[in-house]
Amino acid sequence: VIVTLTTDFGLSDFYVAQMKGALFQQCPQVTLVDGTHDVPPQDVAAGAIAVERAVAGFGPGTVHVAVLDPGVGTDRRLLAVEVGGQVVLLPDNGLVTWAWWRIGNAVAHELSWRPQRGASDTFHGRDILAPAAGLLAGGTPLVALCGPRVESPVLLDLAPAEAGATVGRVIHIDRYDNAMTNVSRDVLASLGSAAHIGIGRHTLGPVRRTYADVPVGHPVALVGSSELLEIAVRNGSVSATLGVRVGDEVRLT
């Protein structure tokens, strides 16, 4: 069984390795895959996008653990969410938002399992979520770890644009300085092929097929690998060239 880990722990400390140790001690046969550990510290919205990308990238039966947990030690709940034939374990702080809306048909349960020897008050990722994932990977049924169904998990103000929308939003800027938006390929299709894209003072024209459809240094709108509208500058930078920031509005006209 594959277990992925998505956190804001960074890679310069030993916290990721400690989670892995807890997982292996529970289930030595697990196959661990790092999602990303470089989500900006406590940026739950950025983490929510990474969680959805992890679920979308793997197949049925995968278990995902996500830890961005500024509320550790408070009474915030932990969740086990079934989505896309996979299970995601995470705090109930909005981290599930993007997978909840974008993949859909999710069912959330309270993760009520706790280790017999107790958990720390500061590191539930290592002490609860990782061993719970190890139990799932080892064959324990989800129901044995869960309390009641959670009808309304905490959700952030981060939702996909709806069909017919004329405005979208930048939700992530990646390492190449390309901007991912909340506008799906389907929403773009609902606007017809004449749709033109704009952001700030800039007009980008129609949605292109790939970066190379514009000259080097020019801005381009296309459907990126996440099946979302993406704004890029070919071999360049949307933040430097266009001044784009996460949260900026994108016009679909």
Is residue 111 part of the contact set for its own copies (CB under 8 A)?
Answer: no
Calpha distance 41→67 (Å, rounded): 10
Tell me the window of 10-18, 87-95, 134-142, 199-207 that interacts with its own copies (CB under 8 A). 10-18
Calpha distance 249→155 (Å, rounded): 21
Nearest approach in angstroms of CB 151 to its own copies is 26
The three-state secondary structure class of 18 is helix
How is residue 152 annotated by DSSP?
A: S
Nearest approach in angstroms of CB 166 to its own copies is 25
> Which one of 3, 39, 88, 111 is in contact with its own copies (CB under 8 A)?
39
Is residue 240 part of the contact set for its own copies (CB under 8 A)?
Answer: no
Nearer to its own copies, 36 or 190 (CB): 36
Q: Please, which residues bridge with residue 65 across strands?
A: 5, 89
Nearer to its own copies, 18 or 140 (CB): 18
Is residue 217 part of the contact set for its own copies (CB under 8 A)?
Answer: no
Is residue 85 part of the contact set for its own copies (CB under 8 A)?
Answer: no
Tokens of 252: 């679909």
Calpha distance 108→92 (Å, rounded): 10
Neighbours of 153 (CB within 10 A): 20
Calpha distance 196→139 (Å, rounded): 50
> Which one of 162, 174, 186, 249 is in contact with its own copies (CB under 8 A)?
174
> Which one of 77, 197, 211, 221 is in contact with its own copies (CB under 8 A)?
211
Nearer to its own copies, 79 or 232 (CB): 232
Is residue 166 part of the contact set for its own copies (CB under 8 A)?
Answer: no
The three-state secondary structure class of 209 is coil
Cβ(199)–Cβ(250) below 8 Å: yes
Cβ(224)–Cβ(230) below 8 Å: yes
- Chain positions contacting its own copies, by CB under 8 A: 2, 4, 8-18, 20-22, 24-25, 28, 31-39, 41-42, 49-50, 53-54, 56-59, 70-74, 120-123, 126-127, 174-176, 209-213, 222, 224-225, 230, 235
